[in-house]
């Protein structure tokens, strides 16, 4: 079920004409993914998914779409001329990786293991403290960059 949600959402994203519709489909996809994470015994990841993707990134994208809408312009052709090739390539990629996945003998446990929140928290502050800090810096840089990039020219002059 969730898989259908995921894949269906994805397909919708890439095939719908209207960008806003695609954004909504994306949100459906993200939601299904969150459910899948929960199924995989990682509720913290599911929560993070909802918070970050559904809460922040989707909103961000919707804002961006809104800010850049060119009025009631007629919807132009959604696909490039190279779309058929793109289909082929995507299928090839999928096919190759799938084949790799299927033909590998995975040494796996038969059932899913759960993820404990305390364990994750612990790891973040001990074994993976460095990446944690770096992520902080990365986000800082991203914020500064985004602010700078999205300025209007007049604000630039006033700042100078």
Interface positions, 124-153, toward another protein (CB under 8 A): 124, 128, 131, 135, 138-139, 141-143, 145-147, 149-150
Residue 58: DSSP 8-state: H
Closest CA relative to residue 32, chosen from 11, 63, 18: 11
| Per-residue contact flags (x/-) with another protein for residues 90 to 119, judged by CB under 8 A | xxxxx-xxxxxxxx--xxxx-xxx-xx--x
Minimum CB separation of residue 64 from another protein in Å reads 5
For another protein, the closer of residues 71 and 160 by Cβ is: 71
Asked if residue 35 binds another protein (CB under 8 A), the reply is no
79 backbone φψ class: left, alpha, beta (φ>0; ψ -120 to 50): beta
Minimum CB separation of residue 111 from another protein in Å reads 6
Say how far apart CA 143 and CA 146 lie, in whole Å. 5
Q: Which of 57, 133, 155, 156 binds another protein (CB under 8 A)?
A: 57
Burial track 2-17 (b if 16+ CB lie within 10 A, e otherwise): eeebbeebbebbeebe
């Amino acid at each position: 079920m969730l898989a259908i949600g995921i894949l269906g959402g994805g397909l919708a994203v890439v095939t719908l004409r209207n960008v806003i519709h695609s954004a909504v489909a994306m949100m459906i996809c993200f939601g299904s993914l969150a459910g899948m994470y929960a199924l995989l015994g990682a509720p913290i990841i599911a929560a993070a998914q909802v918070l970050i993707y559904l809460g922040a990134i989707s909103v961000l994208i919707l804002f961006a779409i809104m800010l850049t809408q060119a009025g009631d312009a007629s919807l132009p052709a959604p696909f490039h001329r190279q779309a058929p090739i793109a289909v082929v390539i995507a299928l090839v990629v999928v096919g190759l990786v799938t084949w790799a996945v299927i033909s590998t003998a995975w040494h796996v446990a038969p059932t899913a293991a759960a993820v404990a929140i305390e364990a994750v928290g612990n790891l973040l502050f001990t074994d993976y403290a460095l990446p944690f800090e770096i992520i902080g810096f990365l986000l800082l840089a991203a914020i500064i960059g985004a602010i700078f990039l999205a300025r209007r020219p007049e604000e630039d002059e006033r700042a100078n």
